[in-house]
């Protein structure tokens, strides 16, 4: 019979999968379905979907799916590190640990975008649309907040590609073996530097190639695959 520890790891992973599918599913719905539809729909239709609670309900599943994914993911990482590997040092000495950690860090950045960029902006947009539907004035900052929310959402879509790659690679694709401490530190620096650049692109007001790439679904997906390749090559070079 499986031990209590085995059941704990299984349940954490199971709920992590369920929550993650819900979160990423809603993320793809917003980017692949709703946003392109809103771009061509008439204003009354968009307003009806917002004021009529369709968008609000989708956002509820979106943000709480992200929260449960975040919590169960880090509980799983910590539990498996100490239960299966006996601590963080052994955990970061195997390809599995590094793959899970990199995927977890990318997912954590996505979670932060949901709760601290996208959701606050969407609250302003919903409030503005509600005021207009009642004959009031639109909230002046709603348009700008909506634009930033859209870029953050596209950024999360981009990050989801390498995030899911490393989550899957953990159990199926041991493409490198961590060696010296210096290599591990270098990988951390590279990881956080790339994450910082991606997030700066999401939050800055400057229009450059990186931000223009996110204006289309095709460009966003290609960016995600390129970013996955960058991480893959960086790992191969650093841990060679």
The residue ranges of every structural domain in the chain are: 4-238
Please calculate the CA angle 25-72-95 and round it to the nearest 5 degrees: 90
Please report which confidence band the pLDDT of residue 237 belongs to, taking 50, 70 and 90 as the band edges: confident
C-alpha 112/C-alpha 147 separation (Å) is: 17
Mean pLDDT of the chain: 90
Kindly calculate the radius of gyration of the chain based on its CA atoms and give it in whole angstroms.
20
**pLDDT for the residue numbered 175:** 66
- Give dist(CA 17, CA 13) in Å, integer: 6
Q: What pLDDT score does 146 carry? A: 92
Q: pLDDT-derived band of residue 240, with 50, 70 and 90 as boundaries?
A: low
Phi and psi, residue 222, nearest 5°:
-60, -40
* Mean pLDDT, rounded, for 180-204: 89
Q: Which residue has the tokens 């997912």?
A: 107
- Report the length, in residues, of the chain: 240
C-alpha span between 204 and 138 (Å, rounded)? 24
Rounded-to-integer distance, Cα 23 and Cα 230, Å: 25
Q: pLDDT digit string (tens) for 16-74?
A: 999 999 999 999 999 999 999 988 888 888 888 988 889 999 999 999 999 999 999 99
Alpha helices (H) in the chain, listed in sequence order? 4-28, 35-40, 43-51, 54-83, 88-91, 95-113, 119-133, 142-172, 181-203, 209-213, 217-238
Q: Bigger pLDDT: 208 or 200?
A: 200
CB 65 within 8 A of CB 20: yes
pLDDT digits (tens, 9 = 90+) for 145-190: 999 999 999 999 999 999 999 998 887 776 666 667 788 888 889 9
Global model pTM greater than 0.85: yes
- The pLDDT value recorded for residue 173 is 73
| Percentage of the chain lying above the pLDDT 70 cut | 95
Kindly write down the DSSP assignment for every residue of 100-137, as one continuous string. HHHHHHHHHHHHHHIIIIIHHHHHHHHHHHHHHHTT-P
pLDDT of the residue at 145: 93
The more confidently predicted of residues 1 and 152 is 152
């Amino acid at each position: 019979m499986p031990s209590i520890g085995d059941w704990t790891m299984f349940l954490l992973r199971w709920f992590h999968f369920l929550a993650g599918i819900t979160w990423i599913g809603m993320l793809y719905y917003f980017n692949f379905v709703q946003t392109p539809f809103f771009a061509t729909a008439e204003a009354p239709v968009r307003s009806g979907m917002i004021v009529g609670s369709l968008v609000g309900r989708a956002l509820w599943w979106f943000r709480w799916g992200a929260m449960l994914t975040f919590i169960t993911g880090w509980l799983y990482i910590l539990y498996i590190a100490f239960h299966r590997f006996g601590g963080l040092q052994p955990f970061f000495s195997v390809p599995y640990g590094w793959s899970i950690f990199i995927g977890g860090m990318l997912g954590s950045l996505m979670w932060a975008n949901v709760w601290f960029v996208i959701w606050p902006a969407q609250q302003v947009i919903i409030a503005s649309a509600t005021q207009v539907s009642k004959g009031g004035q639109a909230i002046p900052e709603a348009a700008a907040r909506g634009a930033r929310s859209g870029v953050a959402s596209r950024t999360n879509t981009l990050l989801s590609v390498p995030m899911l790659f490393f989550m899957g690679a953990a159990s199926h694709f041991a493409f490198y073996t961590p060696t010296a401490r210096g290599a591990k530190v270098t990988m951390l620096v590279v990881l956080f530097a790339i994450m910082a650049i991606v997030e700066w692109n999401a939050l800055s007001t400057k229009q450059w190639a990186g931000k223009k790439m996110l204006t289309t679904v095709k460009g966003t997906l290609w960016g995600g695959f390129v970013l996955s390749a960058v991480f893959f090559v960086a790992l191969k070079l650093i841990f060679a």
